[in-house]
Structure 1
Amino acid sequence: MASEWMIYGAYGYTGELIAREAVVRGLTPILAGRDEARLIPLAAELGLDARAFPLSDAARLDEGLRDVAVVLHCAGPFSQTAAPMLAACLRTGTHYLDITGEIDVLERAYSLDEKAQRAGIVICPAVGFDVVPTDCVAATLAAALPGATHLRLGFDTRSALSPGTAKTTVEGAVGGTRVRRNGRLARIPMGSLTRTVDFGVGEKLAVAIPWGDVASAYRTTGIPDIEVYLPTSRSQIRGLRLTEIARPVLRLGAVQRVLQNRAGSRPGPSPETRAKRPMHVWGEVTAPGERRVARITTANGYDLTVSASLPVVVRLLSEGYAESGARTPSQLMGADYVTTLPGSSEMVLTES
């Protein structure tokens, strides 16, 4: 049985954070990616093996996953990279994890449940900030109010974006805002759905955003109506509505390339910045005449991604692990998983 594991996209902002913490914990991942010039120096510094190969060549991809039991896929935008890696994991019998928050990537991953079972592998996307905290909140709330019909989630963080996340955000603007209605994904105009939310630090105006939980939380809970919110301002809402008007232009390939190149040039947040900017997570479920609310404070999203992803790898590497199929983080690690991570408070569950 294969015992090696791999970080693909190890030289990206978040991939490198995970690789460095893995070494601190005594783990020895194989570092991988398509850019050998960026990959080899990092592997040499950390004393790890490296494999350079593209995702576009199926034969090289399969060879790259040789003897690999688990791949933690960190190379975004995942809309472009997840499909070939998922296909390769199914062919090679490799457990698949990633750190995406992209709705369509999550939906695709969950659609492979039967194939994953036949291949004897686990497919568990979004084992980081996208979407471990909110998924655990969703699972906790669903257990607290069986029969809930509406689930609303959200988070408050002032953290800057990494280059990869910024590129994904630019790409996501083309699709507009998405929610779940009666069990189905639905598009609504950007900036059109707002409400007031107390994320744990006082009430704030918030706007619905196209976040991965409209896929993952539905998989976890089966609640038919789901929305995800982020704090905003009146001026930002006006900007979102202008973006909605500009969507046909934003779809143009040349415009996307320019915007993504600019987004990818920014540095990720420093350790000092991350330490000063924790995340406040909120969730609410309702049923006729009933309501439950959950709140938790966690570490900054990037630090949480590092601390959340590595125990999932370790679990899948553990001797005798026999589960297979597509899973959400809370299904794989438990609804209380987020409370075990460094920087997390206890989850507070109330009726208001």
Structure 2
Amino acid sequence: MENRIAIYGAYGHTGKFILAELFRQGYKNLILSGRDHEKLTLLHQEYPDLEIKAADLHDPKTLDDAFSGAKIIINCAGPYLDTAKPIIEAALRSGSHYIDLSAEQKAVLDVFEQFAEPAKNNKILIIPAAAFYGGLADLISTALTQDWNEIDEINVYIGLDSWHPTKGTRLTGDRNHYKRLTFKDNRLQELEAGISKEWDFKNPIGIKEVVALPLSEIITISRHLNVNTINTFLSQNSLDDLRNNDTPEPKPVDSKNRSSQQFCVEVIAVKSNIRRTISAQGQDIYAVTAPLITESIKRILSGSTKKNGVTTMGEVFDASDFLKSLNDDDIKITAIEESTLN
């Protein structure tokens, strides 16, 4: 099988970032796919040498045709509660590896519960939530605690100076009506109503009010790290933007078509009386998914993976090495700081 890569939802906001980054890095054996043939045709005008194949999620034959010969399928089309299952089933039929961008906890849980054995038996990789939400915090948490066999607590703080949601983000939010889960006492539990607090993300985000809002990193981290408790906190201002129907979609401001949005992800891990901290800063939560996916593709194709089956970015890759490989223009990773608790 040639190293062909299929991108489903290639014409979507994040799909375009991934396509552009793969193309820039020399990946030219790409299949551009999705549900909308008209949008694929418009995209083909920008990439005339690439193959386009429309595929209907409810028609397995069209999916099989679109993914024929693909080594890896990148699913950029949400809501993943609807798209993950049919595309993974097609990946199993074609023997292709699968990777997606899901922030939806239920979608990620379903992938683990439904496809762990089939993926292992077919010797393929299935990596859900390999994006800003889910994958980045999983990689950082793994790198931060790589020499700890047991972890008392991991807290993930996500600060955005603003959130201009895409149409896909809003559709996913409307579709995802399931209760949010957190991880406490070594098990998944429904999130209890909590109070907000302030967190200093330093420049350029500054001090923000944050609230507990667990996303797919709760699922990915808990799947492979021996941790008692995991919490995720998101800046309230970004939620206000998301919940405001008048908030516009992101607008490009630079040569990479990134918006001006700034983000900071800070992860704190505690074991006994030891506290470790690391943070990642960058621009545009949608655009930053592209280097994460591209580096994952590179490592899958080179065989730099630790297992087959359904897995996570932190589990299947060397997390510290992965983070070091990222360009500072995409994500700036700080050094690990360690201190003793009083």
Write out aligned runs for 1:92-241 (5 A): 92-111=94-113, 112-143=115-146, 145-158=148-161, 159-172=163-176, 174-189=177-192, 192-201=194-203, 202-232=206-236
Q: What runs of 5+ residues in structure 1 fail to find an aligned partner?
A: 244-258
- Other-structure match for 2:272: 288
**SS of equivalent to 1:31:** strand
Residues 149 and 322 (structure 1), Cα distance of their counterparts in 2 relative to 1, 3 Å cut: closer
2:318 maps to 1:331: no
Structure 2: distance between partners of 1:295 and 1:320: 25
CA contact (8 A) 1:135 1:220 kept: no
Q: What runs of 5+ residues in structure 2 fail to find an aligned partner?
A: none
Structure 2: distance between partners of 1:326 and 1:123: 5
**SS of equivalent to 2:133:** coil
2:281 maps to 1:297: yes
Quote the offset at 1:193 in angstroms: 4.4
TM-score w.r.t. structure 2 length?
0.85
The one-letter code matched in structure 2 to 1:341 is L
**SS of equivalent to 2:336:** strand
2:269 maps to 1:268: no
**SS of equivalent to 2:198:** strand
2:23 maps to 1:23: yes
Report the structure, 1 or 2, having the larger helix content.
1
Residues 50 and 216 (structure 1), Cα distance of their counterparts in 2 relative to 1, 3 Å cut: same
TM-score w.r.t. structure 1 length?
0.83
Structure 2: distance between partners of 1:149 and 1:119: 35
CA contact (8 A) 1:157 1:278 kept: yes
Structure 1: distance between partners of 2:300 and 2:134: 19
The one-letter code matched in structure 2 to 1:143 is Q
CA contact (8 A) 1:198 1:204 kept: yes
- Other-structure match for 1:66: 68
Residues 170 and 25 (structure 1), Cα distance of their counterparts in 2 relative to 1, 3 Å cut: same
Structure 2: distance between partners of 1:54 and 1:287: 48
Could you tell me the percent identity over the aligned residues?
A: 25
**SS of equivalent to 1:301:** coil
Deviates more, 1:88-97 or 1:155-164: 155-164
Structure 2: distance between partners of 1:34 and 1:23: 21
Residues 140 and 314 (structure 1), Cα distance of their counterparts in 2 relative to 1, 3 Å cut: closer
